[in-house]
Structure 1
């Protein structure tokens, strides 16, 4: 077995680990509101979401093709790796991708530890950007594309990142306002029950949409590694085993449930009633599915968080905790640069050790150590299916300004 092949194996393992963290990090996107309103029991919700993420991962590969050829210049327009990175069996390219994935995982775990619903998509882009800049210089980034198609960091990532939560807030806010107007005068016992049933369908749609949008990103980077090492030559398709492994990894992560983030999104941002939950989930699914159709690697976290916030603004008298929202926005803003810094540092570590097998192993060891530390730290304040819906306390009493809440009036 060659050095490049061993590094490829490490890359596949780390890529699937990223998919796993993506699953449990983003479970909240689909199921937080359904769990918060009691539409689904916590363990039932994550099981349903896991199955639908598995199915969704097989439905589209459009986003997979985006990750590897529209943001960083490590791949030609025909899907083949850049010639300068294919020497020594593609080792140089593999180390860049490996360091980028590791940077994304570290940031995912860090924000999970802090119970912040940040974007796994942007963590991946950030990690790849940092490793690419460290390895190839600033010219290794496709900043604005060539103008003929929607590609490049700015139009493909930054603009959707800014626009998607705003669109989600507006769509969900309008949907919530309409729902409450239409059901005005209907007894709560009827609306609560009916909307809970509706939430099951809408949450399922979000899970399916999440699978179509997120699992493909990892498929893309694994396939690039296979092409670079000569194990795959078809630049138009993804190997079936790659699809299956990525689908299973994200589904397993989803099933285990990112309870810390589910709690923040379901209980910490807005006090959610079933009509709001249905509005948020339906709005999120619509925006995510449209983005997948257009090939935009949208952040499902930004969309779903925007939708939840929109329901708070659309429901007269609803409670919005702006302090929590502010922390989320800060995490969003720094995700790409923070993951980029980690990715660059890990590439630097690998380069310091020769940029070959020893460097790749060092990256994996550092990643494993960081993951272990954060996991054990999380056990000191565990969040699980039995306490995920406990009353929210934001560093103080749940009244007035001390909890950072605002009441929205009609």
Structure 2
């Protein structure tokens, strides 16, 4: 066994660690608002998210992934393939360790930003400042502001509308029969467009934007008609009051949370498997190309890691996002999911590097602020933001330490 084979097998373990942390931290956000609003229990959330993320990663996940995450460095500037392989392994290990630390302290961080920071760290040492795409890094820094701000704004507006036109009306059961089908139909448009533009399977269809929009609108109209009948049967008595309203939005919230979990499995598995694919390609070809074919076995490894991660440690981040920032109900939780999903969809199609984690937290803050500043625990929020800001530099420094040690061991 040569050094290339050794690092490939080690990278499988590091990739599994990263996937585990992805499930425990990032993916837990998909179910946090549903758990916080008591739409489902933690055990149900773990079961649902574990299955949907595994399916998303293995069935919908891309078999071709960018080997250098987010194009943050130029691999051509590092001519020694062994050095590049060591660096990718150090980055994968460093990112995994940082996300694990954040998870154990129950704070949500972005796995995407962790791996980007780690790759930047070894890139600086291996190739110098010129090897780093600083424009891309600037976009990542901006995303710390962009994604939570837009998600908070959308969630604020959605919940304000629900409160004004449903909860504050005298006959709000009649109002929920009128407005719930509208919000479900709007959510279906969001989900359909997200599937077509965000998931690898949807992108492979290569539909023209007009066809995609027509398909999404057609599904939403059909959904609107079905939901009107369903809501009328669900709430039979005007005396059910606010509980009847929350019951309707509870069903809607579980549906949106399930979609987010499925989508995260399809899209975020590349954060764990991308660097492994890079090491696999270097070990096999002794060079690194821009894209790498990912064997199904690697996607399965990532899917299993994500599922186990959310099962073992997912409850920690769920509790922070779903319960400690502000008190959530089903109407508020639906607004959170809608704000986060729409932010990620719009921003990703505009080419902005956003994090689902940041969007989810922003959505929770938005619905909290709709009830006033007193409704948000800013101490918890400040701790979360501090971890966001620290993610890139800490992952970079940890990656540098691992890279220097591994380089000394391999070249001495």
Counterpart of 2:157?
A: 174
Counterpart of 1:122?
A: 113
Counterpart of 1:84?
A: 79
Q: Does 1:50 align with 2:50?
A: yes
| Deviation sequence 1:124-148 (CA, Å, 0-9, x none) | 111111122122222221212xxxx
Using the alignment, how far apart are the partners of 1:16 and 1:297 within structure 2? 24
Report SS of the residue matched to 2:376: strand
Mean Cα deviation higher: 301-310 or 58-67: 58-67
User: Gaps (5+ residues) in structure 1?
Assistant: 77-81, 145-151, 357-410
Counterpart of 2:344?
A: 288
Distance 1:132-1:171 versus aligned 2 partners, 3 A rule: same
| Deviation sequence 1:17-50 (CA, Å, 0-9, x none) | 1111111112431111211221101111111111
Distance 1:217-1:158 versus aligned 2 partners, 3 A rule: same
Distance 1:63-1:326 versus aligned 2 partners, 3 A rule: farther
- Deviation, structure 1 residue 342: 0.8
Using the alignment, how far apart are the partners of 2:289 and 2:400 within structure 1? 29
* Number of equivalent positions: 338
Higher helix share: 2
Using the alignment, how far apart are the partners of 2:302 and 2:314 within structure 1? 18
Using the alignment, how far apart are the partners of 2:327 and 2:380 within structure 1? 12
Higher RCO structure (Cα 8 Å, ≥6 apart): 2
Please say if residues 31 and 45 of structure 1, whose CA atoms lie closer than 8 Å, have aligned partners that are also in contact.
yes
Counterpart of 1:299?
A: 355
- Deviation, structure 1 residue 215: 0.8
Please say if residues 89 and 279 of structure 2, whose CA atoms lie closer than 8 Å, have aligned partners that are also in contact.
no
Please point out which of 79, 89, 97 is paired with 1:98.
89
Please say if residues 340 and 360 of structure 2, whose CA atoms lie closer than 8 Å, have aligned partners that are also in contact.
yes
Using the alignment, how far apart are the partners of 2:346 and 2:247 within structure 1? 29
Counterpart of 1:138?
A: 129
- Deviation, structure 1 residue 306: 0.4
Alpha carbon RMSD of aligned pairs, Å?
2.5
Q: Does 1:342 align with 2:398?
A: yes
TM-score, normalised to structure 1, is: 0.76
Mean Cα deviation higher: 296-305 or 118-127: 296-305
Please say if residues 67 and 278 of structure 2, whose CA atoms lie closer than 8 Å, have aligned partners that are also in contact.
no
